[in-house]
């Protein structure tokens, strides 16, 4: 899916550089005119669409129909994992195919106008998002089932009974993922042989951009879904966690780093993790493990640059600092960086966090609670090392000579891979500092 989207982006950039006169060239090898080639491209689109709908029908009637009659083999949970919402896609594609066929000029296919058909059904293509998100889960489920002979025999029997082509269920499940990527390529090919004066030209241009955006959006959502499992695994590694899970509000990590927190004349080192909607503050214990300290709700906070100089409240000199004021709790946090460049990067990332949240709201982006719960469940099944294991080792070696204790207690540095879930679409560029909410400022030690 990501390779397909990357190809679309590259083609989009290249197409901007190609003059229209070159885009509407004749096919030199076959000596066909633009109109003749356009007719063949239209016919290919219709033919592949009919084949695709037939494949969806085979899956729904051949596999799902048979599996539904065997609840002892296929529970509702297994069915959802294995097939996702492919029945919903089949229902949508049947209607889309009917309108697409109605758009074809039977006497002269080159005069057909199909761009409007894609524009009219653009919202329906969003059904692919759920399916593509579930696809990796479907492959895992299918792999587990195929480890048992009775399931291998069942799937082959379904294929034979439905008189399907010799493609395994794996291949049929991949078809919708491939199809949503193929639409922009087909439309681009059709547009290449559509003259600017053609009645379908403008709508076809719009349809191409719409389907490109659909593919990019689905890929972005898929990457975000993959990120939440990594975030759930990260939270499992944080000791002393309190309150709601990070996934209740956040779906991507934006930035992280070490920083100094000011509280009066005292300074404390902390590790910050900037997610969408919230900032997680941690500290390191004597072994380097991360321990939870608090979360700051960025939806009700304002981040501001703090000029170098003396702070009137604490009567201390601050440098490379910025503040976070939580309007809900009326608390002020003063944070200082080692370098000015580091501070500017944090301020930039806080602005980006607000832009990404706004973009998600405008796009109506959200991840279902069931998907979040599934991610947490998958991480739970990995059985991470329990925090109390370290204390058990400590008690066992406490009676040993110190030299041996030192060797056993020495733990290797652990690195935790965190998702870089930056949206693939361009973010809005805003001016100004901040977030929002100002009130009476009280200091808090982080």
pLDDT of residue 136: 86
Please, are residues 39 and 110 in contact by the beta-carbon 8 Å criterion? yes
Q: pLDDT tens, 342-371?
A: 999 999 999 999 999 998 888 777 777 777
pLDDT of residue 345: 97
| H helix or E strand, kind and range, residue 316 | strand 316-318
d(CA 83, CA 139): 10
Query: What is the location of CATH 2.30.29.30 in the chain?
Result: 246-443
| Strand bridging mode 442-443 / 331-336 | parallel
How buried is residue 298: exposed, middle or buried, by Cβ count under 10 Å (0-12/13-18/19+)? buried
| Strand bridging mode 266-275 / 442-443 | unpaired
Please, are residues 397 and 405 in contact by the beta-carbon 8 Å criterion? yes
Q: pLDDT tens, 207-248?
A: 999 999 998 888 888 888 888 888 999 999 999 999 999 999
CB atoms within 10 A of CB 329: 14
pLDDT of residue 6: 61
pLDDT of residue 199: 94
3-state secondary structure of 18: coil
d(CA 274, CA 293): 14
Please, are residues 381 and 137 in contact by the beta-carbon 8 Å criterion? no
pLDDT of residue 5: 54
No. of helices (H) and no. of strands (E), the chain: 15, 10
| H helix or E strand, kind and range, residue 306 | strand 301-306
Query: What is the location of CATH 1.20.900.10 in the chain?
Result: 2-233
3-state secondary structure of 330: coil
For the domain made up of 2-233, the CATH class stated in words is mainly alpha
Q: Which fold has domain 246-443?
A: PH-domain like (2.30.29)
Pick out the chain residues at pLDDT < 50.
18-29, 383-416, 418-444
Please, are residues 212 and 184 in contact by the beta-carbon 8 Å criterion? yes
Flag whether the pTM goes above 0.75.
no
d(CA 282, CA 240): 10
Tokens of 348: 């930039």
């Amino acid at each position: 899916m990501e390779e397909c989207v990357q190809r679309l982006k590259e083609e989009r950039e290249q197409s901007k550089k190609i003059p229209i006169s070159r885009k509407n060239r004749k096919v030199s090898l076959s000596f066909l005119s633009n109109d003749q080639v356009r007719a063949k491209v239209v016919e290919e689109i219709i033919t592949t669409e009919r084949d695709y709908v037939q494949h969806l029908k085979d899956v729904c009637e051949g596999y799902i129909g048979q599996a539904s009659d065997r609840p002892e083999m296929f529970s509702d949970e297994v069915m959802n994992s294995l097939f996702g919402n492919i029945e919903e896609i089949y229902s949508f594609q049947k209607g889309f195919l009917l309108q697409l066929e109605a758009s074809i000029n039977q006497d002269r296919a080159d005069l057909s106008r199909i761009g409007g058909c894609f524009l009219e059904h653009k919202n329906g293509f969003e059904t692919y998002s759920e399916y593509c998100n579930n696809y990796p889960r479907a492959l895992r489920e299918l792999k587990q089932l195929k480890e048992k002979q009775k399931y291998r025999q069942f799937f082959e029997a379904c294929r034979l009974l439905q008189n399907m082509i010799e493609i395994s269920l794996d291949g049929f499940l991949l078809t919708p993922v491939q199809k949503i990527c193929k639409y922009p390529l087909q439309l681009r090919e059709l547009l290449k042989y559509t003259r600017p004066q053609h009645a379908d030209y403008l709508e076809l241009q719009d349809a191409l951009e719409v389907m490109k955006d659909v593919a990019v959006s689905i890929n972005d959502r898929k990457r975000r879904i993959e990120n939440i499992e990594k975030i759930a695994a990260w939270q499992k590694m944080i000791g002393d966690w309190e309150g709601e899970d990070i996934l209740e509000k956040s779906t991507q990590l934006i930035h992280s780093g070490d920083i100094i927190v000011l509280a009066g004349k005292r300074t404390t080192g902390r590790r910050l993790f900037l997610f969408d909607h919230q900032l997680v503050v941690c500290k390191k214990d004597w072994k380097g493990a991360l321990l939870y300290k608090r979360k700051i709700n960025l939806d009700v906070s304002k981040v501001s640059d703090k000029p170098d100089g003396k702070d009137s409240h604490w009567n201390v000199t601050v440098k490379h600092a910025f503040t976070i004021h939580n309007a809900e709790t009326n608390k002020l946090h003063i944070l200082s960086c080692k370098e000015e460049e580091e501070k500017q990067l944090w301020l930039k990332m806080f602005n980006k966090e607000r832009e990404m949240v706004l973009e998600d709201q405008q796009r109506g982006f959200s991840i279902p609670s069931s998907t979040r719960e599934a991610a947490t469940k998958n991480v739970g099944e990995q059985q991470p090392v329990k925090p109390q294991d370290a204390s058990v080792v400590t008690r066992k070696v406490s009676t040993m000579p110190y030299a041996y204790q030192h060797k056993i207690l020495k733990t290797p540095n652990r690195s935790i891979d965190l998702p870089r879930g930056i949206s693939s679409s361009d973010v809005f560029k805003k001016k100004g500092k901040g977030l929002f909410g100002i009130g009476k400022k009280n200091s808090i030690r982080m």
